[in-house]
Structures are given as structure tokens and as C-alpha cells.
Amino acid sequence: MTVSIALAAPPPNIRRGPIASEEQTHRALIDYLKIAAKPGVHWHHCPNGGHRAPKTAATLKAMGARAGIPDLTLIAGGKVTFLELKRERGGRLSPPQIAMHQELRNAGAAVITCQGFDSAVEALRMAGLCR
């Protein structure tokens, strides 16, 4: 069964002050997972992104690294869920991410795209992966 959950970010007028970067949001979500993931939920980040030296990038590509892999992989009860995290405002999926997400859904995985920390927490709870 393929499940896709995409939640809207809160209206812009609810939040005041600077918007957290995607990295800051990602780190906060990892801290949350450490305390709130339900027992039996495996999760990890695959560090495909970021800038690398050309030789390192070529080596990783030869070893199977692919563009567009979501930020987090979560596995529970034999089901795989991928979570792509974007900053609360302005974050958009790239064309390689859109294509990869569709490939993963076609393979039977759930792919969740969230904008901001609150959206990600809500999605993980709705998916039954966190308390």
C-alpha cells in the first residue's frame, strides 16, 4: 500500500522572528525522534546531500548514491517511510527529489514531505511512528 502525507505549513502570520534553516529544523527533529520515536521504530539519515570534492562525489555515485533521496528513512513493522524535510517557508522540492519520491512510492514506500518542525512532528504522529 502506498501512503503519501503532505501537510501544509502553519500560516505565516502565526510565527514571528527568523525562520529556522532546513539544517536547524532537521537537527531539532532528530532530537525529537531520540525521545519520541515509538519502540521498534528504526530511523536514520542518509548523508547524500551537501557539497563534496569531485573525487568523493564520483566515488559515492559509483557506490550507489542517488540524487533526491529523502532526508530520513523510518522503518516500523516492515513498512518503510521516507521523510523529506523543508524549511518552514520557501522550501521546495527539486526535480530530482520529485522523481525519486515517485520512484519510492511506486516501490511501495510512504513518502512524507513536511515544511518545518511542527509539520514533521504532526506527520510522524499521524503515521504512528512517534508518541
10 within domain boundaries: no
Give residue 84's pLDDT.
Answer: 97
> What pLDDT shows up at residue 59?
92
Average pLDDT of the residues in 31-55: 92
Average pLDDT over residues 13-25: 71
Give the count of domains, the chain.
1
In a domain? residue 80: yes
Residues 111, 4 contacting (CB under 8 angstroms): yes
Contacts of 70 (CB under 8 A, 6+ apart): 82, 83, 84, 97, 100, 101, 104, 111
6 within domain boundaries: no
99 within domain boundaries: yes
The pair phi, psi for residue 95, each rounded to 5°, is -55, -45
Least trusted range by pLDDT, from 6-20, 73-87, 117-131:
6-20
Asked whether residue 15 is domain-assigned, the answer is no
What is the pTM (predicted TM-score) of this model?
Answer: 0.83
**What is the residue range of 64's domain?**
20-126
Supply the CATH number for residue 74's domain: 3.40.1350.10
